Structure 1
Amino acid sequence: MTDTHIHETPPDGAAADWTVPQDWGRYTAEEHAIWDLLFARQSALLPGRASQAWLNGLDVLRLSRPGIPDFDELSDRLMKLTGWRVVAVPGLVPDAVFFDHLANRRFVAGNFIRSRDQLDYLQEPDVFHDVFGHVPMLADPVFADYIHAYGQGGLRSLGYGALHKLARLYWYTVEFGLVREGGDLRIYGSGIVSSHGESRFALDSDSPNRIAFDLERVMRTEYRIDDYQQSYFVIDSFDQLLTMTTATDFAPLYARLDGLPDIAPAAILPEDRVITTGSQAWAWGRAAG
């Protein structure tokens, strides 16, 4: 991956908040075809694996229509459901910008798509990861409120020097979270639902740990950006996430976490409520798909 979509300052054509026109008409037939290919193989795999909330969002937002979605049309539908919009950005944005968008119910999505040689692994989020992975969950009112509250909390975290702690909460919920549904585990994290390999690995492999969600535990736990996760955290419901976010006073939590050591991704603590203890047999360090 080149650094085309990583910038120090807003690139030419971007507003001060880093947004750019999606310019839907500029996408090539090949780019639409890549979306359709990714969509077809993931949407066939996810029934029975993805959370019902995610599947409902995929349906109600009409994401099954061919081609990369038009953000204006998508935002119109999403706004009527939960008050969110999807805005295009040229790549990764600074943390303060990201949190400000979330706090104002704007979800930032990359306006580019991966190439065919990157179908199975992309380190930088593209339009497929951002829209297919994230946006269906924003159609769920409870989860949409959670992301809104997370954005507000993110802005406050910048004043405490605690961004890396709060980033772990996002990683292990929004990106790589599992939820109990009807006695089974289901995927809702966008990093899993948009990955052909990890959408199977997260539920089927005996390698990773699966641990009941605990806020402090999650915020102490390091994570991998280069491979499948060594541990997944399981929530009981999306109401649990929302209540936890809105009811917790994070200032004393950040202070307490400052005095505690970080936890390795594969570690299991005596106090953990373990759902499955992983074998850690996966050959960690190779690119995940």
Structure 2
Amino acid sequence: MLPSHLKRYIVSQDYGRYTPVDQAVWRYIMRQLVSFLSVNAHECYREGLKKSGISIDRIPQIDEMGNKLSEFGWVTVPVSGFIPPAAFMEIQAFGYLPVAADLRTVDHIMYTPAPDIVHEAAGHAPILVDPEYAAYLKSYAQVAAKAIISHHDMAQYEAIRALSDLKEDPSSTTEQIKNAEDALTLVNDSITDISEAALLGRMNWWTAEYGLIGTLEQPRIYGAGLLSSIGEARSCLGPSVVKLPLTVDCINYTYDITEKQPQLFVTPDFAHLRVVLDELADRMAFRRGGVEGLEKARKAQTVNSVELESGLQISGKLKSYEANGQTVAYVQFEGPSQLSIGGKEIKGHGIQYHADGYGSPLGQLEGFAKPLTQMSDEDLVKISFKPGSKKQIRFTSGVVVEGKIEELIRHPETGALILVGWKDCRVSLGDRVLFDPSWGTFDMAVGSHVTSVFGGPADRRAYGETDDFVAKVIPRKPFTPIMQYKHELYQAVRTFREKMEAWPASTSVTQKAVASEQLEQIYSKLEAEFPHDWLLRLEILELAQQLPSDSWRPRVELDLRNMSEKDAQVAEHIADGVKVFGQRF
């Protein structure tokens, strides 16, 4: 079950929002994709569409998809467009596939940079039926959930989301969109340090989004970005796009979501994806820890967690740290901080108690036979290190802690000492006062070294939200009477086609002639009111070719030719549509 703190990203699909025009857009895209990808995508693609409950002719119900994908260990959930990358990865790590419920418009029928149901459903879902790929995607999500996200990443996400929302909102002005574009450019230009999250984003882009599989000479497509963009799917296999073997070096390649990619990476098989992912994970702070990990967290200026060899986890924004070479002497967090063990907040040590930050010395103690965390109760009694005792301890770093021991907290499973509560305590390093007795109880972390630094709070549920995300549903512009009329015509053609598909083989010529007259009447209405609508004309032409329509079909063909001559992109859409006439899907 999805944790409660992730449920705010989930929305209702609201299937009734999809218009007959939307259904026609979906059908056009899917017919194009399946026609090309049945030959050029990974071998599981066609089977994956069926097994994931995706129809060629209608927009899928996300809950129906979830029922189908549950057989493969996945559940689908509808989300509100762009959600924070960390949340997206955490949702995926729990075995849920976030699906954006929005659908691109006919004006962006071939590609949209914003998440939509074509990308998620037709792109990601079919390949999930391959167990090796599904395992990679879950492993990737688990690694990505540990990645350190910088404040630049968050600013970039907010700018992208704001721009995306404005572009989809029918009430937005040109000036508002231009201002949002300028804001995004400003954020992008300010990024000087590439975070772990950004590197993981590149890994995702060159694999799950734009990945190829097989040989360099004859690769096939498996990336969702390619599987949901027929234009780029076609061009990517040509010689103009450089094919490179997939290695961890793919993270050194940037990408532009608004442009076709100049190079793509080819994995020999899905098992290789996890090999490359593991190489990348070995470079990350959650595995390396130490000063390297602390420096990443400090630069990020976001909520991250520092784990000690004792098992104690400290979460918050790392403001600073003291270190001598690779030996960490002191860590200082600012703002709401949390202490946890094994991802569970220690009772009484949440952000309400540590609201203003948290700091503690780390390292070896002078005069102690073994690390404090390894000492048993008997060991501590021998040196009078017990509740009620006044004590002064000195770390090899020079940090001095002096006060009255009030509480000792041990790891519930290993028994290691993880926390010492001091009263009337003073902490100093030379002339610097790190903690004054007037500040209250001093909760000293016990640990000699930092074993891991990872993104986000250790206990996310207890810590609460680290951003102010609110799911936003872009309001539809109220349909004018003329738009409602267009929807009626699209629905009429859809209903007509469904009836034709149900005709028995014995349908007479007379019945077909009557049907042709009915279809001509629909076309005449379209001709009179919507001279620039190429999509419905295309649907009508395909049906007319199956009927005795010689008397009026040339009008449709002439209309489409005229549209093609005026607009090269429309000409491409029409030509592509005609190519799949008569194909069985």
Output the TM-score relative to the length of structure 1. Answer: 0.77
Identity over the aligned pairs, expressed in percent?
Answer: 29
- Superposition map of 1:90-109 within 5 A: 90-109=80-99
Name 2:209's counterpart in structure 1: 175
Structure-2 change in CA distance of 1:249 and 1:45 (3 Å): closer
Hey, which of these two has a bigger chunk of strand by percent?
Answer: 2
Q: Distance in 1 between matches of 2:126 and 2:144?
A: 22
Paired residue for 2:64, among 54, 61, 73?
73
Equivalent residue, structure 2, for 1:31: 22
CA distance 1:199–1:159, change in 2 (3 Å): closer
Q: Which amino acid aligns with 1:211?
A: L
> Using a 3 Å threshold, how does the CA distance of structure 1 residues 46 and 55 change in structure 2: closer, same or farther?
same
How far apart, CA to CA, are the structure 2 residues paired with 1:229 and 1:175? 11
1:207 equivalenced with 2:244 (yes/no): no
8 Å CA contact 2:200, 2:251 repeated in 1: yes
Name the CA distance, whole Å, in 1 between partners of 2:240 and 2:276: 29
The AA in structure 2 aligned to 1:252 is R
Show the counterpart of 1:166.
200
In structure 2, C-alpha distance between the alignment counterparts of 1:146 and 1:210, rounded to whole Å? 21
The residue that corresponds to 1:145 in the other structure is 135
CA contact (8 A) 2:196 2:284 kept: no
TM-score by length of 2: 0.39
1:131 Cα deviation (Å)? 0.7
Separation (CA, whole Å) in 2 of partners of 1:62 and 1:120:
22
Give, in angstroms, the shift of residue 15 of structure 1: 7.2
Flag structure 2 segments of 5+ consecutive residues without an equivalent: 151-194, 296-572, 574-585
Q: State the Cα distance separating 1:225 from its structure 2 match.
A: 1.4
Counterpart-to-counterpart distance in 2, 1:96 and 1:24 = 27
Which whole-Å CA distance do the structure 2 matches of 1:96 and 1:185 have between them?
A: 31
State the alpha-carbon separation in 2 of the partners of residues 66 and 194 from structure 1: 16
- Name the residue aligned to 1:188: 222
For 2:218 and 2:144, locate their aligned partners in 1 and report how far apart those are by CA, in whole Å: 31
| Structure 2 equivalent of residue 53 of structure 1 | 44
Counterpart position of 1:64: 55
Equivalent-residue separation in structure 2 for 1:165 and 1:244 (angstroms): 13
**Displacement after TM superposition at 1:69 (Å):** 0.5
* Kept in 1: contact 2:102–2:116 (CA 8 A): yes
Matched to 1:55, the amino acid is R
TM superposition shift of 1:146: 0.8
Structure-2 residue corresponding to 1:236: 268
CA distance in 2, matches of 1:49, 1:16: 37
Q: Deviations over 1:153-200 (max 9, x none)?
A: 111112794111110000000110000069731011111111121111
Maintained 8 Å contact 1:51/1:181: no
> Deviation string for 1:54-106 (max 9, x for gaps)?
222113224235211011111111001x2111111121000111111110011
Q: Distance in 2 between matches of 1:249 and 1:173?
A: 13
**Do the aligned residues in 1 keep the contact of 2:76 with 2:99 (CA within 8 Å)?**
yes
How big is each residue's C-alpha offset from its partner over 1:41-65, in whole Å with a ceiling of 9 and x where there is no partner? 1111112211112222113224235
Which of these two proteins has the greater Rg computed from alpha carbons?
A: 2
Partner secondary structure for residue 117 of structure 1: helix
Partner Cα separation in structure 2 for residue 116 and residue 201 of structure 1: 21
Rate the CA distance shift 1:159–1:167 in 2: closer, same or farther, 3 A.
closer
Structure 1 vs Structure 2 CA RMSD: 2.5
Higher relative contact order, chain-length normalized (CA < 8 Å, sep 6+): 1
For residues 106 and 243 of structure 2, what CA distance do their matches in structure 1 show?
A: 32
**Post-superposition offset of 1:253:** 5.2
Cα shift at 1:16: 4.4
Is the counterpart of residue 136 in structure 1 residue 126 in structure 2? yes
Query: Size of the alignment, in residue pairs?
Result: 241
Any conservation in 1 of the 2:48–2:126 contact (CA below 8 Å)? yes
Query: Which residue identity does 1:96 align to in structure 2?
Result: A
> Residue 134 of structure 1 contacts residue 190 of structure 1 at CA under 8 Å; is this kept in 2?
yes
Check the 8 A contact 1:174/1:190 in 2, yes or no: yes
Q: CA contact under 8 A between 2:86 and 2:145: conserved in structure 1?
A: yes
